[in-house]
Amino acid sequence: MASNYPVDLSVKPEVKAFFDPATWTISYVVKDPASDACAIVDSVMDIDYAAGRITYESADEIIAYVKEQGLKVEWLIETHVHADHLSAAPYIQDALGGKIGIGEHIVTVQETFGKVFNEGTEFQRDGSQFDRLFKDGDTYSVGSMHCFAMHTPGHTPACMVHVMGDATFTGDTLFMPDGGSARADFPGGDAGVLYDSIQKVLALPDDMRLFMCHDYGPNGRDIAWETTVGAEKQHNIHVGGGKSKEEFVKFREERDAQLAMPRLIIPSLQVNMRAGELPPADQDGKTFLKVPVNGL
């Protein structure tokens, strides 16, 4: 459980959030309090899907902030292979440097969706598109700040929660207390496994700050992205108040059966399993995304 992880609440990084209203995604710049080093978590590349047009306004906003603050990017963290937005990690890496990291079980996701999208043998399914593949409990540094990764599967097999001092970046493992939890019906997802992963997060200290990857403003409230472990344990509508695993699985599976596929799942998976790179261009220099018919 979380007690085995190297938690240090005395380190309090500065966290700057960037909300993307098109995909309800929150990206973060996380600064080491003792240096100019930073990490960028879950960046967004913009796409007009109907027009097939890729742009970089969201990423450029982050790049401008990092430059204005005089920060040095050491890590570009992907909490998982997102199904609802495209990663801008390589675009930001080209501008600012840093290493791109994701969970080691990316290889499972690549194998699964390599088949779904009928990728050829040239598509490497070994995670080599990323600079670092994190295992559960792996540590790394942002400046002098010690960080670690927790494997939290259930939403996807490769989901990782990243802990940087007193700040934890949950990916899609948890939403705000009134948002509950993420779906668990994608290939490789499992509601029971997700419940167990959430319990690992809730075993962190109550004062640990939690930062969400998504917020949808339930019941018309303003968008929010920061809470605490203690607040989630008490008030999360899906797992708080001591809800049992059986209750959660029943609710999650019934709810997931009613959900539509994310609007951007087809382009997102093809790009994000490549660490944010577009598929290779054809002999004429043109790039295409595939639509698998009845494949998802």
User: What is residue 1's predicted lDDT score, i.e. its pLDDT?
Assistant: 47
* pLDDT, tens digit (0-9, with 9 covering 90-100), for 266-283: 999 999 999 999 999 999
Q: Return d(Cα 194, Cα 28) in angstroms, integer.
A: 23
Closest CA to 168 of 228, 236, 216: 228
Q: Around Cβ 154, how many Cβ atoms within 10 Å?
A: 24
In 3-state terms the chain splits into helix, strand, coil percentages (rounded to 5) of 25, 25, 50
Spans of the chain below 50 pLDDT: 1
* pLDDT, tens digit (0-9, with 9 covering 90-100), for 47-65: 999 999 999 999 999 999 9
Identity (one letter) of the amino acid at 139? T
Burial of 243 (0-12, 13-18, 19+ CB in 10 A): middle
The owner of tokens 């559960």 is 136
Q: Residue 252: phi, psi to the nearest 5?
A: -65, -45
User: What is residue 3's predicted lDDT score, i.e. its pLDDT?
Assistant: 60
User: Cβ(159)–Cβ(184) under 8 Å?
Assistant: no
User: Cβ(163)–Cβ(171) under 8 Å?
Assistant: no
Q: Return d(Cα 152, Cα 132) in angstroms, integer.
A: 17
Computed over its alpha carbons, how large is the radius of gyration of the chain?
A: 18
Torsion sign, CA atoms 105, 111, 116, 120: positive
DSSP state, residue 147: E
User: What is residue 296's predicted lDDT score, i.e. its pLDDT?
Assistant: 75
User: Cβ(161)–Cβ(168) under 8 Å?
Assistant: yes
